[in-house]
Amino acid sequence: MVAFHERYHHRAPVTAKTTLLEEDLLACVMGGVYTEVEKTMIELQRSPIVKDTRSAFQQAMQHRFVEAVERLSGRRVSTFVSNSHVGPDLEIELFFLEPNSHKDLSPR
């Protein structure tokens, strides 16, 4: 996600952390994501425009994000959820993974 952010927003997020939760939820949280133009728009009380533009971009790029996670994780993504927040400056990407087909199915 950081590489995508750098490529398309022309800057790296200030912070980034990716965590696998309960074996099926991959969460990527990035902070300090807004460009100088977006920060200026936010200062000028235009946050909805910034959020709408970010949301439209995330929807348009969804297939690329999902393909990258599937390739890197070896798991299929069943659902992708993305959202950005103003104050604090955060973006979150959630990938719900299908069950791992290599999971141990032996009786306990």
Tens digit of each residue's pLDDT (9 = 90 or more) over 7-41? 999 999 999 999 999 989 999 999 999 999 999 99
Tokens of 84: 């950005």
Flag whether pLDDT at 103 surpasses 80. Answer: no
Task: Specify if 16 maps to a domain.
Answer: yes
Q: Is residue 92 part of a domain?
A: yes
3 within 8 A of 65, measured Cβ to Cβ? no
Per DSSP bridges, beta strands 15-21 and 77-85 are: unpaired
**pLDDT tens, 44-80?**
999 999 999 999 999 999 999 999 999 999 999 999 9
Please check whether residue 106 lies inside any domain of the structure.
no
Expressed as residue numbers, the domain containing 37 is: 2-97
